[in-house]
Amino acid sequence: MKRLLSILVSLSCVLSLFGQNNAESADDMARIILTPYVAGTSTIPSHAAMVVENKLNQVVTKYGVGSKSMESQFIITANLIEMSKDFTATAPVMVSMILAPTIYIGNGYTGELYSSCQLPEVRGVGENETKAYMAAIKQININSKELGECIEIGKTRIIEYYNSQIDFIISEAEALSKRQEWNEAILHLAAVPKVCKEAYEKAMLKIADVYQEKIDIEGGAKYNEAYAQWKADKSKESATRVVELLAGINPSSAYVERGRKLSAQVESHYAELVARRRAIEDRNWQFKVRQYQDAQDLKKMQQESSVENKRMLIEFAAGAVSEVTSVFKGSPAPSSVNSSASQPASSSKSAVGSGRKAKKQGIASKIASWFK
Q: What is the DSSP string of 107-136?
A: ETTT--EEEEEEPPPEEEEESSHHHHHHHH
27 and 146 part of one domain: yes
pLDDT single digits (tens) 192-213: 888 888 898 899 999 999 999 9
pLDDT confidence band for 151 (50 / 70 / 90)? very high
166 and 301 part of one domain: no
181 and 268 part of one domain: no
pLDDT single digits (tens) 44-68: 888 888 888 999 999 999 998 887 7
What whole-number distance in Å separates Cα of residue 126 and Cα of residue 124?
Answer: 7
What H or E segment, with its residue span, contains residue 87?
strand 74-87
Number of compact structural domains in the chain = 2
143 and 16 part of one domain: yes
159 and 278 part of one domain: no
144 and 260 part of one domain: no
CA 183, 195, 24: angle at the middle one, nearest 5?
Answer: 105
Handedness of CA 58, 63, 67, 72 (dihedral sign): negative
Upper half-sphere CA count for residue 7 (Cβ side, 13 Å): 22
Residue 347 has pLDDT above 70, yes or no: no
pLDDT single digits (tens) 267-305: 888 777 566 656 666 676 676 667 767 667 666 766 666
Q: What pLDDT, on a 0 to 100 scale, did the predictor assign at position 179?
A: 93
pLDDT single digits (tens) 295-326: 676 667 666 666 666 666 566 556 655 655 66
The residues pairing with 79 across neighbouring beta strands, listed in sequence order, are 102
120 and 15 part of one domain: yes
Residue 238 domain flag: no
Q: How far apart are the first and last CA of the chain?
A: 100
Q: What pLDDT, on a 0 to 100 scale, did the predictor assign at position 370?
A: 44
264 and 363 part of one domain: yes
Percent of the chain with pLDDT over 70: 66
pTM as predicted: 0.53
Residue 228 domain flag: no
Q: Which residue has the higher pLDDT, 8 or 129?
A: 129
Quote the radius of gyration of the chain (alpha carbons, Å): 55
Residue 96 domain flag: yes
Residue 77 has pLDDT above 60, yes or no: yes
146 and 284 part of one domain: no
Residue 223 domain flag: no
Residue 200 domain flag: yes
What whole-number distance in Å separates Cα of residue 312 and Cα of residue 42?
Answer: 126
103 and 28 part of one domain: yes
Pure H helices in the chain = 2-10, 12-15, 49-62, 129-138, 145-178, 182-190, 197-232, 236-247, 256-329, 337-341, 349-370
Domain hosting residue 279, numbered range: 255-372
Residue 341 has pLDDT above 50, yes or no: no
Sequence-distant (≥ 6) Cβ neighbours of residue 324 within 8 angstroms: 363
21 and 109 part of one domain: yes
298 and 177 part of one domain: no
